[in-house]
Chains A and B, each alone.
Chain A
Amino acid sequence: MVEEKKESKKNEFEPKIVGFLCNWCSYAGADLAGTSRIQYPPNVRIIRVMCSGSVDSVYILRALLEGADGVFVGGCHPGDCHYLDGNYKARRRMVLLRDILDTLGLEQERVWIRWISASEGQQFAETMREMTEAIRKLGPTPITKQWNI
């Protein structure tokens, strides 16, 4: 079997990312990344939901308040939503959420919404790589810092 590679940067910050993926497109895209063996960082924890439109802002805020460093919402491409237009609703909700994030003193860049189709395994893996790096650069969530004080 493949031998484990030595971690080069031992004390690098490993972000915790929560991913809400819609069942029909982005969860299937993540499955395809798997069957295609496309490697990406192990930082995301996926929660399957039926539609990106069902992701309550409360879920995202709760994840952040619990100490997640980033939250990812994955939906179908515009026009492709299995439930007609749930992804548009998710997008609108995301705009409103940004203001709340500001109020909480959280960077807007901690919450990502992306469209990934069932055939975009590569896209999913790339997005996970990008997001992990972006959040790594942002550093740990300020929420835990506050709690620590």
Chain B
Amino acid sequence: MAKKSEMVGAVAVVGGGIAGVQSSLDLADMGFKVYLLEKSPAIGGVMAQLDKTFPTNDCSMCILSPKLVDCVRHANIKLFTNTEVKKIEGKPGNFVVKALKKPRYVDLEKCTSCGDCEEVCPIKLPNTFEQGLSDRKAIYKLYPQAIPNAYVIDKEGDGEHRGCVDCMKCVDACKVGAINHDEKPENLKFDVGAVIVAAGSKPFNPIIKPEFGYKQYKNVMTSIEFERVLSASGPFEGKVIRPSDKKPPKKIAWVHCVGSRDKSVEHEYCSSMCCMYTAKEAVIAKEHDADVEPTVFYIDVRSFGKDFDKYIDRAKKEHGLRYVRSRISEIMEDPKTEDLVIRYEDDSGELKEEMFNLVVLSVGLCIAEEQRDELIEQLGFEVNEFGFVQTCPDDPVVLRPGVFVAGSFLEPQAIPESVMQASAAAANAAALLKDARGTLVKEKQYPAERDVSGEKPRVGVFVCHCGINIGGYVDVPAVVKFAESLDDVVYAEANLYTCSEDTQKRIVDAIKKHNLNRIIVAACTPRTHEPLFQKSLREAGLNPHLFEMTNIREQCSWVHMDKFKDATEKAKQLVAMTVAKTRFLQPIQEAEIPVIQKALVIGGGIAGMTAALSLADQGYETVLVEKEPVLGGYLNKVYYTVDGVDIDQLLKKTVEKVQNHNLIKVYTGSSLESLKGYVGSYESEIKTSKGTVKFSHGVVVVTVGASEYKPNSYLYGKNLQVLTQLELEKKLSDCQQDDIHDGDTFVMIQCVESRDEKRPYCSRICCMQAVKNAIRIKELSPKAEVFVLYRDLMTYGFKEKFYKDARMKGVMFLQYDAEKKPIVDTKDGLMVKFFEPMLQKKLEIPTDTLVLSTGLQPNLDNLVIAQMLKVPMNDDGFFLEAHVKLRPVDFSTRGVFVAGNCHTPKFISESIYQAQAAAARAATILAQPKLTAEPNIAVVDEDLCCGCKTCIAVCPYNAIDLTEDIKNGNVSNINEGLCQGCGTCVSACPSSAIQQRGFKDKQILPILDEIV
């Protein structure tokens, strides 16, 4: 490792997909310089290709775009596209990264993305971003909202098609002289302290599975191709049509596990997210075209994530998804109709055939070998039997000292896992480089704010099509026309995506060109997108509070989908209402509040301890509160794992580190009694055995865990032969070789009182608990009988191999239907009776031990914490993060973060990287000495205030006191740091002497005039 003085305060991030982008943003906000190296001409990765994301059906581009824009705008992130890493040398803390930047032939600074060059280019090639469903020119943009938003010339072609022929037509067409055909490759060298590898993976190419007919039959396509079909900015503009005849298909089949869980292609792992994206694609297809009849051919539905089961339920009930449990033997084409016949073996073993108009292959992910091998050469890391990177499960994002890893380069997985690992990787890098933090960064400089006082309102309105999310259900051009007709509106335009980077430039330009002083974006919700647009205002020299959003997506297009006219009228009125308010907006100068650079972590399980260690390793004093007398939480009840983690060691090592860390103070047997304050400045009271302790801190991390659910059924608690999985585990851990005898029988029932109406969620870990304990039994006594009765086996990702191990060892996996739960009889000892749908038989298994997989339940006192911290929970009682995809460890309340089982049940390694992610996100606040205070605070008009003290009585934050003045009369005085902007005092003031910035009476009341 490098010496303290040699540590470099910069990090190289390899790969510009969502993981790389998240790592970059976190590190840059934590005070590090970031070099983001992406080999393609634009960042965004696979997520940019997706139409929607599950389980919220959010528009993928819409939630991704603000992050990409933040990335290019960030003063501390330097983005290099078309750039490949060639060499990494040095030691942790001080590496030299050498990279090759391939020529783009287009000057990023000069290109305005006008498209004139593309128009004249004579060369056509298949558009790889659109999966070859359409063509592009040799000079092209990777995708319409590409960031950086500039063209690139493809000189190489794709082997079959030639690229640029140097005809120079584009040079003549380009009015700004941005094109340079002689640009040469450039060797780059970066001095960094750490490297984060987020190189991604690639979708499986089903051409090597000829039985599926991919590329043989036109109407067989992959799921990633179908994402582009669904996308409004895709080749068919979101219309559900099939490739052969461009006609809408009625019957569409999705085939699960193509290139996953498949020995024949050496992909024996599960790709984790295909079950869910399949349901999403089917739901969205049906949304785009109500006549679609979707059928899903599946092995298991692995809906193991948070709120996934509810999504599948809705897909079945409300969108009519038909699920057929089956194995597909062949897909054939009817040459006349180009329809497809799927031949499959159904649940009962019967061979069937069914015709479909279109077949979508739900392809899994696999490693991009070439890129991996290049990185292995430079970094020398291990790969697992599936060709993916191998890390240690108790240190999941560390590739080797100073080199960290995140995203699907590590394991096929969905977006939130990638985002969490990305933040976790950032936390690890930040801990390593803590002594160099802040040495290479600079602050973003905005132009001076224009003084708009005295100016007549000049409102600009930007109406978003949001692909077809708005444009498909609201007449956007009509809304623009209507906006133009309103008083004070001097400019209005429509955008495909108002949040894209090119539109930000358009907004800045429009502000300058038309001298706008109030801006409205009519698009989606301000809760996610307001900060992005406010930054654009600042870049144009306008105060960011001269801005309003009007939500014509969540409040119009998405909720009135079959009422085009009404939705359009409503959108117009919402715009008129917003204009009415916007006219009266005034600049707001935000106060600055100092940040107490200390953290409070509530809950001392593996997540809490990891979060505390990560924060302390980054140099922040941390208090860890645990209600039990010992640290460890749920881990104290776990005895062994199948993936090689020694639980005793992990627990011992972690507890020791926590207790010996000079920046961590642990209070066991203690609880949080009260919490006051706000982000940057909290005051907590912790009840300990030795009395109450006070602690001031800037952030809070919630890691209170969850516990095993104790069932009320299957004789649990009444019969000693009935155990939960944890109880069995404890028993097995004490077992010696001869404690379990040949012929001893164990029956495990999965999903006990789980995934039902009362507890409608999957606990994610119980299938693996069963697999783990079953393997243990078989290891102790190979001739013991183990039966696992399951609904869907959730051994996702690489966990699939343990499922296989168990089967190889003779563990019997038998299915049951959710509607026909197994029954337990005690007439002659324990007897489990159930119907096995695959065998089409009623089975009766006598057993010595009945094991119930019940999953986890949230702690009952989560409610107390939720109310104290003002953070939400979901219907199941787990904490609800700010955004399931892109803000998986943040709460909407700034300064409070979540990790571990209290967020949703998860495995140890998942808790560890989520906790590190929470620490990273918390550190983005702690790294700043000052934060800007809440802008929308209340202000007192002293001339109107009569000093009645009503406001003082109602203020929940004690932010108001009375300035006594005998001569002029007493007046209320509001503390800018303490006021949180709730507006309670405003509505309580009998003299209307208090007004809330951004919500003043004179801003709200005109809205009402527009409504009627």
Contacts and interface: CB of A to CB of B under 8 A. Distances in A.
Interface stretch (B216-224, B440-448, B680-688, B979-987): B979-987
B57 interface: yes
B983 A28 contact: no
B522 to A, nearest CB: 13
B559 A54 contact: no
Interface residues of A, number: 57
B559 A33 contact: yes
Contacts of A93: 987
Given A2-B290, A79-B867, A51 B1011 contact: no
B982 A83 contact: yes
Contacts of A38: 559
B89 interface: no
Interface in B962-1012: 980-984, 986-988, 996, 999, 1001, 1004-1005, 1007-1009, 1011-1012
Nearest to B558: A34
Given A1-B473, A53-B987, A83-B956, A35 B57 contact: yes
B4 interface: no
B554 interface: yes
Given A39-B559, A59-B1005, A68-B1012, A25 B56 contact: no
Interface stretch (B569-577, B760-768, B805-813): B569-577
A35 B563 contact: no
A118 interface: yes
Nearest to A44: B555
Contacts of B569: 42
Contacts of A84: 870, 956-957
A82 B870 contact: yes
A86 interface: yes
B986 A118 contact: no
B382 interface: no
B984 A86 contact: yes
A63 B1008 contact: yes
Contacts of A89: 954, 984, 987-988
A83 B867 CA distance: 10
B319 to A, nearest CB: 10
Given A56-B1001, A58-B1001, A83-B956, A42 B984 contact: no
B565 A45 contact: no
Nearest to A59: B1004
Given A1-B472, A23-B527, A89-B984, A46 B555 contact: yes
B872 interface: yes
A37 B555 CA distance: 10
Most buried by A among B290, B983, B1005: B983
Contacts of A101: none
Contact of A47 (B57, B870, B1004): B1004
B333 to A, nearest CB: 29
A79 B558 CA distance: 30
A85 B953 CA distance: 12
Given A59-B1008, A83-B956, A86-B956, A54 B983 contact: yes
A4 B562 contact: yes
A106 interface: no
Interface SS majority for chain A: loop
Contacts of B527: 23, 27-28, 31
B527 to A, nearest CB: 6
A50 to B, nearest CB: 5
A119 B873 CA distance: 8
B287 interface: yes
B673 interface: no
Contact of A125 (B58, B559, B870, B956): B559
Contacts of B1007: 47
Contacts of B555: 30, 34, 46
Contacts of B577: 45, 47
Given A24-B892, A125-B559, A37 B473 contact: no
A106 to B, nearest CB: 14
Contact of A16 (B874, B875, B1011): B1011
Contacts of B564: 4
Contacts of A46: 551, 555, 574
B526 interface: yes
A3 B563 CA distance: 8
B983 A49 contact: yes
B566 A42 contact: yes
Contacts of A5: 562-563
Contact of B984 (A32, A51, A63): A51
Contacts of A50: 936, 981-983, 996, 999
B826 to A, nearest CB: 41
A99 interface: no
B874 A119 contact: yes
Interface in A83-142: 83-86, 89, 93, 117-119, 125
B472 A53 contact: no
A80 B506 CA distance: 41
A18 B984 contact: no
Interface in B422-457: none
Nearest to A40: B559
A85 B954 CA distance: 9
Nearest to A93: B987
Contacts of B556: 42
A36 interface: yes
Interface string B869-888: 01011110000100000000
A45 B1011 contact: yes
Interface in B511-543: 525-527
Interface string B834-866: 000000000000000000000000000001001
A35 B558 contact: yes
Given A84-B870, A119-B880, A54 B875 contact: no
B661 interface: no
Interface string B104-119: 0000000000000000
B558 A48 contact: no
A23 B694 CA distance: 31
Contacts of B472: 1
Given A28-B527, A47-B577, A80-B870, A118 B892 contact: yes
A121 to B, nearest CB: 9
Interface string B272-290: 0000000000000001101
Contact of A42 (B288, B563, B870, B999): B563
Given A54-B996, A56-B987, A66-B1011, A85 B956 contact: yes
Nearest to A119: B874
Nearest to B548: A48
A118 B561 CA distance: 22
Nearest to A22: B982
B799 interface: no
Given A2-B290, A37-B558, 19 more contacts: A1-B473, A2-B473, A2-B562, A24-B870, A25-B872, A31-B551, A37-B559, A38-B559, A39-B560, A40-B560, A50-B983, A50-B999, A53-B983, A54-B999, A58-B1005, A59-B1005, A79-B867, A82-B870, A119-B875
Nearest first, the 4 A-B pairs at minimum CB distance are A54-B983, A34-B554, A83-B982, A67-B1012
18 contacts: A28-B892, A34-B525, A35-B58, A36-B56, A42-B566, A45-B570, A47-B1004, A50-B982, A51-B982, A51-B983, A53-B982, A53-B983, A54-B982, A54-B986, A58-B1005, A66-B1008, A83-B982, A119-B874
Interface of A: 1-5, 16, 18, 23-25, 27-28, 30-40, 42, 45-51, 53-59, 62-63, 66-68, 79-86, 89, 93, 117-119, 125
